[in-house]
Structure 1
Amino acid sequence: MAGDRSRPGAMPAGMPLAARMRPRDLDEYVGQLDALGKGKPLRAMLDQGELRSLILWGPPGVGKTSLATVIAAHVDASWTELSAVTAGVKDVRRIIDEGRSRLDLRGRRTVLFVDEIHRFNKSQQDALLPGVEAGWVTLIGATTENPFFELNPPLLSRCQLVRLQPLTDDDLRMLIERAVADPDRGFGGRVTLSTDAGDHLVHVGDGDARAALTALEIAAAAAGVTRAGVDGPHADLDLDAVADAMQRFRYDKASDQHYDIVSAFIKSMRGSDPDAAVYWLLRMLEGGEDPRFVARRMVIFASEDVGLADRQALPLAVAAFDALDKVGLPEARYALVHAAIALAVAPKSNSVTRAIGAGLEAVRTYGNAPVPPHLRDAHYKGARALGHGAGYDYPHDHPSGFASDQRYLPDELDGTRLYEPSRHGHEAAVAERVTALREQARDRPTKQRPGDKPT
């Protein structure tokens, strides 16, 4: 979920080529001259050793994470990162406290990088404000979404917005040539590309450095060059070799096939077929799919299609996502496949999905229903005089811990059933518990759900 390191550009050799070839300093950074060119405000700020909070906005593969890491290294700041998908307010506050201590005790600044910052909700974004405002951390948020729609105005106003554009063909060629030649992180000259082959990789990349380098890695692997360094076999890659290799692993994230494969993966897990789930998962990863996308789909699936039938499904899916953040590919394949198999063989229930549907219909129909007086906040002065909290029956005053006469829904919805448990897996026990509680609730007749047809 979070990590701290002083040289964020360092990458282990087992990482994919695109990760290994991330720039280590500003001089290695390719592209984005509108933001980083000589004389531009951001470049001038960095050349003066200054550091302010930034929001990096641009499509996938244009260098948002790479820019954040080289900025931290350029100003010699400590590096800490969070995933907006898995981090909570507690994590944000902890890192801000650590940044404050680091600044007070060592005089060292902290860069807090938040990938997919648009996924932070309002409370999570608000938790960033004190640390950013006081300078205890310098926030660098990366997003593919319009920050004016996705970020809170108070947070956005405290950050400099940097718009990143798709890389040019010349940018991609430079990155490909560097990966071919680099003796430590790339192929050390063991791959030779024809002009047509290089042009094809640029075309496949379409402004996305990650896509172009992943395509190069796939083509090299198909020719027997599977690791970094100067030692090992050599491969001459012409257009046919690159095109043939890419056809074998064709996976265009903008095409219908992308959605077909994602659909096949989800339906294989839903259909309790672990073999098919593993196949489609690895086909996505081998085709260059963002593993975070795959992990997100499994987190959603755990609640949408397994739910309370297996209480470990959601924690396992979240743990796989966390493992991906901590160890990266290729090692994270173990955690992702582990989770996919577990979700495929788990008992299934869509009761959570049905509860959401019924609940939203209730909200749309009775969205202005008043809160019953006994449930209203009675802690402030004068609340009791207004009748707030009057008649509230404290459940812990009962031996069973359940106040059977007390109602919690608005009067208009009293007795309405939004959650209907299945009888699959652990949810069978949940169903018995829910049935027993509802039977104890005296004088609470079951009403139709909003929108239901009369029976």
Structure 2
Amino acid sequence: MLMLKNVLDQEPVWLRSEEYDQIWMLLEMFMESSLPLSFSVVAWGGPGTGKTSVAKSIMANAKSIWNNLETIYLNSISEKGFGLFKALQQIQDLGGYSAAELLENLERSRTKLFIVIDNAEVLMEERLVQAILRIGEAFPQGGFFTLMLFKSINRPVNVLSATPPIYLIYFRPYNFDEIRRILDNVVKNCKNCFFSEKALDTISKAAGGDAELALMILKASLNIAGGKNVDETHVSKVLESLLENPFEYISGRLYDLHAKMILRILSEHPQGISLRKLFEEYIRLTEMNRVKPLGYTQLWKRIRIMERRMLLNFEVVNLKDGRTSVVRMKCISQAMNL
């Protein structure tokens, strides 16, 4: 039976050779420069477009080439700003120092630091993004290469307020042929199972350029088929299930318990729900699960973060009592252009 463990690692980085080469060229310039420079790279694209795979591959290769380079990977969803602080402490084996003191120490040591910050859109409300993009201004002696990955289809930040040099890289959605090549690459390692051409074509079309979604549909179709022969019928059952309950797919990508609660409420209100009503149902859920709730303003901020991650739609409806925010979950059928 096909084991799709670490599915993102199955995604061939060579399909993103242009983006890989751009980032690698900038990293080479950074490492070989004798001037005190800090580089900032902002990379963005929709979900499942290879951002994390490329970043992790570059980190691994860079570490094997440059001995004077330290690397840090942070997932903003689970670690936020504290993860960077802990990583800096571990690198320097120093405790009891502030983040600024740790960075100053690195600056003096001439050790160069390559920092990858994944899901950086989560940090927007805390204004940490702009602070990180201005690291070269705070530490003019340089030594910091930051690669920030945003799950967004639009350019996520105002680069005019950042300290140069700053570089922008867009990860476009995969096209049909690229998704199909990813699936073929995984399927060829499947023992004692078979995928029909129509099944693979249907998955490739349904994924809408999202490799992670394509792999998830592939795995679910294989499970429905009992781990053996998968045809278009099995794929259609998976797609029907996703259309009926998109929460099942989206929730699997989330580590934030509050975000999961929000999406569960929205899955029960496909036509949308007012923000105040959503807050009331959210409070009930937190009480049932014995979770400390977010305040009204905090919940609104969390929803805006989810909007940036393309999980939600917003509308402002003119009612008699004024303007009211109505929240809806994005319909996964928009990505499944069947």
CA distance in structure 2 between the aligned counterparts of 1:124 and 1:172, rounded to whole angstroms: 34
C-alpha distance in 2, partners of 1:246/1:61? 17
Instruction: State the distance in 2 between where 1:126 and 1:348 align.
Output: 29
Contact kept in structure 2, 1:125 and 1:155, CA below 8 Å: no
Instruction: Give matches, 1:50-199, under 5 Å.
Output: 50=31, 52-76=39-63, 78-85=70-77, 87=79, 89-96=81-88, 107=111, 109-117=113-121, 119-121=123-125, 123-129=127-133, 131=135, 134=139, 135-145=142-152, 150-151=157-158, 153-155=160-162, 157-182=164-189, 187=190, 189-199=191-201
> Could you tell me whether the CA contact under 8 Å between 1:92 and 1:127 is conserved in 2?
no
Cα deviation, residue 137, structure 1: 3.8
- Tell me the distance in 2 between the aligned counterparts of 1:205 and 1:354: 35
CA shift, 1:29, in A, is 0.7
1:238 to 224, 231, 239: 231
Provide the rounded CA distance (Å) in 1 between the counterparts of 2:150 and 2:298: 31
Q: Does 1:210 align with 2:203?
A: no
Quote the sequence identity (%): 15
- 8 Å CA contact 2:116–2:149 kept in 1: the answer is no
1:291 aligns with 2:254: yes
Distance 1:192 1:137, change over 3 A: farther
TM-score when scaled to structure 1? Answer: 0.46
For each residue in 1:102-129, what CA deviation from the matched residue of structure 2 results, as whole angstroms up to 9, or x when unmatched?
7877956433323233633364234425
Return closer, same or farther for 1:127/1:203 CA change in 2, 3 Å cut-off.
Answer: same
Amino acid at match of 2:179: L
Map 1:254-403 → 2, pairs under 5 A: 257=244, 262=247, 284-285=248-249, 289-292=252-255, 295-298=258-261, 304-305=279-280, 343-344=287-288, 346=290, 352-353=295-296
Aligned mates of 2:297, 2:44 — CA distance in 1: 36
RMSD: 4.4
Note closer, same or farther for the CA distance 1:30–1:344 as it changes in structure 2 (3 Å cut). Answer: farther
For 1:398-419, what per-residue CA distance to the aligned partner results, in whole angstroms no more than 9, with x for missing partners?
xxxxxxxxxxxxxxxxxxxxxx
User: Aligned partners of 1:43, 1:356: CA distance in 2, in Å?
Assistant: 39
Gaps of 5+ in 2: 33-38, 64-68, 92-102, 266-277, 301-321, 323-338
Closer/same/farther in 2, CA of residues 20 and 68 from structure 1, 3 Å limit: closer
Of the structure 1 ranges 99-108 and 164-173, higher mean CA displacement relative to structure 2 is found in 99-108
Measured in 2, the distance between the counterparts of 1:145 and 1:57 equals 6
Amino acid in the other structure paired with 1:179: V
Q: TM-score, normalised by structure 2?
A: 0.59
Secondary structure of 2:242's match?
A: coil
Q: Could you say what secondary structure the match of 1:112 adopts?
A: strand
* Partner residue in 2 for 1:251: 242
Alpha-carbon distance in structure 2 between the residues aligned to 1:47 and 1:69? 16
Q: For the pair shown, which has the larger CA radius of gyration, 1 or 2? A: 1
> Which residue of 2 is the match for residue 427 of structure 1?
none
Q: Is residue 8 of structure 2 the alignment partner of residue 19 of structure 1? A: yes
* Counterpart Cα distance in 2 of 1:49 and 1:355: 39
How far off its partner does 1:45 sit? 4.2
Judged with a 3 Å threshold, the aligned counterparts in structure 2 of structure 1 residues 20 and 288 are, in CA distance, closer, same or farther, namely farther
Change (3 A) 1:293 1:218: farther
Contact kept, 8 Å, 2:195 with 2:231, in 1: the verdict is: yes
Q: 1:31 aligns with which of 15, 18, 24?
A: 15
Gaps of 5+ in 1: 1-12, 23-27, 226-234, 263-283, 311-339, 358-450
Q: How many residues align?
A: 261
For residue 226 of structure 2, the aligned residue among 221, 224, 243 is: 224
Residues 143 and 347 (structure 1 numbering): CA distance in 2 closer, same or farther, change over 3 Å? closer
Q: For 2:115 and 2:196, how far apart are their aligned partners in 1? A: 41
Inter-partner Cα distance in structure 2 for 1:90 and 1:16: 28
Normalized per residue, which structure has more strand? 2
CA distances 1:277-330 after superposition (whole Å, capped 9, x unpaired): xxxxxxx15x774224765243899x94489x89xxxxxxxxxxxxxxxxxxxx
In structure 2, relative to structure 1, the CA distance for the partners of 1:74 and 1:347 (3 Å cut) is: closer
- The 3 A distance-change label for structure 1 pair 120 and 190 is farther
In the TM superposition, residue 353 of structure 1 has moved relative to its aligned partner by 3.7
* CA distance 1:202–1:160, shift in 2 (3 Å): same
Alpha-carbon shift at residue 164 of structure 1 (Å): 0.8
Contact 1:192–1:237 at 8 Å: present in 2 too? yes
Asked if 2 retains the 8 angstrom alpha-carbon contact of 1:132 and 1:139, the reply is no
- In structure 2, the partner of 1:9 is none
Taking the aligned partners of 2:47 and 2:126, their CA distance within structure 1 comes to 24
1:129/1:245 CA distance change after superposition, 3 Å: closer
Contact 2:42–2:148 under 8 Å retained in 1: yes
- Post-superposition shift, 1:59? 0.8
Distance 1:118 1:158 in 2: 23
| Partners of 2:49 and 2:174 within 8 A in 1 | yes
